[in-house]
């Protein structure tokens, strides 16, 4: 069922950022569904660029060449289920450091955000760079240990052989790359609400996010 903010037709504009495996995708999807809003997982754009570059044999560190691939990205590239995989995430994080890549992807994200109903976008720099005007900004986080545990369990459930310690090292490396890059580093916007999910179930995190959204939009109308 859809939650609505009453008394207003103001678009509901929600930016959700946070590090890898903090649960922001799951949360953003549920929020979008609950409020009847279109949802864009912006990580998919970087994942698609990383995958296309990797498949073309392009050096992921070559900003010009990878930037060219980003400029030619088409929406049907985003449907590939392999983009959700672990390797695609690593490639994405490497190509996302290039200003040329980021610049090529800005317009698509801003056009999506400008939909008249409002929208939910999740990523790393939505509240800070892509959509500073979003009315609701949530920065979802969890300790690296909790995120690595969740990711390990997820991969084990899919039948993959993984070690917690290796995943933890990867989570830390990805955090360092995403937060340490010069352009649009991962960090909470000054006006973002911090949501630490370390000790929360998905349901609790969802409820907490709805409380933030309802109060930021100036009222609530629970269903
Ligand atoms: O959210 P994700 O795990 O799908 O993102 C994969 C990588 O893409 C992430 O490590 C950094 C990059 N990314 C980014 O730089 N900016 C975004 N708005 C979304 C993702």
In this structure, which residue's CA is closest to atom 11 in ligand 1? 93
In a domain, 222, yes or no: no
Going from the Cα of 143 to the center of ligand 1, the distance in angstroms, rounded, reads 18
Same domain flag for 73 and 164: no
Same domain flag for 127 and 110: no
Considering 63, 80, 114, which residue would you say is the last residue of a domain? 114
Same domain flag for 29 and 77: no
Tell me the percentage of the chain whose pLDDT exceeds 90: 83
Q: Cβ(30)–Cβ(110) under 8 Å?
A: no
pLDDT band at 85 (very low <50, low <70, confident <90, very high): confident
Same domain flag for 97 and 161: no
Same domain flag for 87 and 52: yes
pLDDT of amino acid 222: 46
Considering 62, 85, 114, which residue would you say is the last residue of a domain? 114
Domain count, the chain: 2
The full DSSP string for 128-182 is: III-TT-SEEEEEE--HHHHHHHHHHHHHHTT----HHHHHHHHHHHHHHHHH-S
Ligand 1, pocket residues at CB < 6 Å: 20, 42-43, 46-47, 89, 92-93, 96, 123-125, 174, 178
Residue-wise pLDDT tens digits, 6-46: 445 789 999 999 998 899 999 999 999 999 999 999 999 99
User: If you ran DSSP here, which 8-state letter would residue 23 be given?
Assistant: S
Same domain flag for 104 and 165: no
Find the domain containing 102 and state its range.
42-114
Residue-wise pLDDT tens digits, 153-204: 988 998 989 999 999 999 999 999 999 989 889 999 999 999 999 999 999 9
Whether the predicted pLDDT of 220 surpasses 80: no
User: If you ran DSSP here, which 8-state letter would residue 126 be given?
Assistant: I
Give me the phi and psi of 121, to 5 degrees please: -120, 135
Residue 141, phi-psi category: left (phi > 0), alpha (psi -120 to 50), beta (remainder)? beta
């Amino acid at each position: 069922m859809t939650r609505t903010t009453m008394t207003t037709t103001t678009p509901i504009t929600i930016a959700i950022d946070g590090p890898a495996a903090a649960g922001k995708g799951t949360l953003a999807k549920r929020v979008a569904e609950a409020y009847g809003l279109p949802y864009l997982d912006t990580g998919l754009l970087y994942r698609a660029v990383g995958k296309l570059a990797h498949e073309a044999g392009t050096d992921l560190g070559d900003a010009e060449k990878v930037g060219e691939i980003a400029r030619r990205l088409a929406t049907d590239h985003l449907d590939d289920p392999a983009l959700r995989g672990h390797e695609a995430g690593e490639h994405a994080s490497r190509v996302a450091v290039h200003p040329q890549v980021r610049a090529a992807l800005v317009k698509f994200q801003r056009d999506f955000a400008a939909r008249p109903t409002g929208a939910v976008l999740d990523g790393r720099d939505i509240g800070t760079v892509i959509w500073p005007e979003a009315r609701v900004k949530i920065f979802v986080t969890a300790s690296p240990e909790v995120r690595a545990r969740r990711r390990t369990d997820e991969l084990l459930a899919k039948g993959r052989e993984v070690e917690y310690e290796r995943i933890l090292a990867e989570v830390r490396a990805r955090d360092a790359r995403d937060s340490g890059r010069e352009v649009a580093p991962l960090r909470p916007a000054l006006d973002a609400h911090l949501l630490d999910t370390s000790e929360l179930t998905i349901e609790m995190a969802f409820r907490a996010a709805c409380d933030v959204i309802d109060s930021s939009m100036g009222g609530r109308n629970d269903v």
